[in-house]
Chains A and B, each alone.
Chain A
Amino acid sequence: MAEATGIKEIIKPENLVYERTSIMTENILSYCPGCGHGTVHRILAEIIDEEGLQSETIGISPVGCSVLLYNFLDIDWQEAAHGRAPALATAIKRLLPDKFVFTYQGDGDLAAIGTAETIHTCNRGENILIIFINNGIYGMTGGQMAPTTLPGMKSSTSPYGRDVKTMGNPLRITDIVATLPGTYYVTRQSVHTPANVRKTKKAMRKAVQYQKLNKGTCLVEIVSNCPSNWKMTPVQSNKWLEENMLPYYPLGDLKVPEEQAGTPANTKSE
């Protein structure tokens, strides 16, 4: 049949337009269908590949759904205790200042149990990249309330919806670290549409390049989804993200380098 011939034609190696980035391993991703983690992993892998950083990179994986991240990217990894990744990264970067060091953390990890490490690492201006995946829920443990869970949002530990009077308001920790002099570049992105994936990749590349300047902490927040624990299809979850998460966590840069912002900077002539 003509259709079958068409498929054979399409899958010929010379016709492939998309393939596994070399930095991604052949291990099968452990994420639920439609989850944003896989997309962010892919972006990170592409940038490490394109910037030629494989032999220079040390990543720190968190506790959470991405705990097995070290199985998916072919680089050196350290697996941290819950919330402690920025402390590991601090020491690694101080001891190996020429290496590219990043952490990859979820909202519970970075904004609840690891709040002190997050704030103080940013406040010291450690020259690392923090990648922050915010899906407003504890995914791996089965959908409990996170520090970033929206008001009224249901979870297994807020079954009647988050009551801000007794459970507190969702924490915009990225806004907080943007106020610290130690941070150099702080931005909030998402991967729920192809356009946003491209913007996230751009932001991530900037952050990777900024680390070479040695000017402070870069933090890229990615507002993401959790179809399984939000109890939605992937498409529904991306729509819900846009309608509910983004009004509370608006996308865009929260802090850009002064040079970039057009302010007269304390630039050194080269």
Chain B
Amino acid sequence: MERELRLMKGNEAVAEAAIRAGADGYFGYPITPQSEILEYLMEANPYETTGMVVLQAESEIAAINMVYGGAGCGKKVLTTSSSPGISLKQEGITYIAGAELPCLIVNVVRGGPGLGTIQPAQSDYFQAVKGGGHGDYHLIVLAPASVQEMADFVGLGFDLAFKYRNPVMILSDGAIGQMMEKVWLGPRQERSKTVPDWATTGKPPTRKRNIITSLDLDPNAQEIFNLKLIAKYNEIKEKEVRYEEFQCEDAEYLLVAYGTSARVCQKSVQMAREAGMKVGLLRPITLFPFPTMRIRELAGKVKGILSVEMNAGQMVEDVQLAVNGKVPVEHYGRMGGMIPTPDEVVDNLKSKIIGG
């Protein structure tokens, strides 16, 4: 299948991109606003063409544990859900991180806490970038701001997951999942035939048995493993930071926003500049690793920073850590499924940062 331009929902783009990336298996459970992913894959029936297994599990818990099983066999597997379902998956995610298995998890975030709303939000930032389940671990977190990135990050996510033997999360939201945009889909890749040397596929006489586990009863050995994980996360922080800058060259004030909020802030930057304010936007593409060093550099050039988020103030803590008190950092957020408007952002930039 060739490279192709299509008009699709973000959710559909994830599903089609997974088939084209040569995924071996998808395990999901219906939840709004991401059910189109499972529906698309069931209708596409890729088992007949590529051999990709698609299965509707009995729960999000079962789905993430199917991902664990498939990943343990060295297969390219993914699951998708939305916030309440992602909470259920946290047990499986921490086991996957602890067993150092590669996989892809997509969270099409909706407002919370609890059952919350079905509208878009960014209130799962802490859960995604700080661990989420129990124990010391990190996911690699990618934040798409378009349907194109929803598709592109599937392939990128699998590449990073296998490169570092670490689960990768695409942290999207209900707006990007539901909206339709044109999207370039890459040519279909063959499903990989290579078997990683750690995968459980049946022990031949030529190698030792492979064991996928996160258990170590010896605290000394467990600490050594924890140190190994930290070294891996440090390497990821060094090599995999991704971000995009918009009119930052001469900026006196900086907006920091990801995903849907970043789309809104692009317009805010234009409006502010038309009104004579030199405003720029930094959009983190990776939320873990966070573009700490770049924000620290920009903090030396600007007079103040506003973190714009669809939550009560989560990423702002990482911005503050990066800035370390050098300039004022404030947060503006809408919650519960509400999306900030460009002029609200400009008004809050003026009242909270520029002053007067």
Contacts and interface: CB of A to CB of B under 8 A. Distances in A.
A75 B203 contact: yes
Interface in B307-341: none
A144 interface: no
Contacts of B212: 77-79
A89 interface: yes
B342 interface: no
Interface stretch (A1-9, A92-100, A239-247): A92-100
Interface residues of B, number: 38
B99 to A, nearest CB: 8
A79 B214 contact: yes
A42 interface: no
Given A76-B210, A81-B91, A95 B61 contact: no
B253 to A, nearest CB: 47
Interface of A: 54-58, 60, 67-68, 70, 74-81, 84, 87-92, 94-96, 99-100, 116-117, 119-120
A81 B67 CA distance: 13
Interface in B46-85: 53, 55, 57-59, 61-63, 65-70, 72-73, 75, 77
Contacts of B203: 54-55, 57, 74-76
A88 B68 contact: yes
B273 interface: no
A94 B61 contact: no
A69 to B, nearest CB: 10
A95 B205 CA distance: 22
| Shortest 8 CB-CB contacts between residues of A and residues of B | A88-B69, A87-B65, A79-B213, A91-B69, A76-B200, A120-B58, A91-B66, A84-B65
Interface of B: 24-25, 27, 53, 55, 57-59, 61-63, 65-70, 72-73, 75, 77, 91-92, 95, 99, 200-205, 209-215
A78 B66 contact: no
Given A77-B211, A88-B66, A55 B57 contact: no
Contact of A76 (B25, B70, B95, B202): B202
Interface of A is mostly: helix
B65 A94 contact: no
A80 B55 CA distance: 19
A183 to B, nearest CB: 16
Q: Which of B24, B55, B61: most chain A CB closer than 10 A? A: B61
B91 to A, nearest CB: 6
A81 B92 contact: yes
A79 B217 CA distance: 14
A136 B213 CA distance: 26
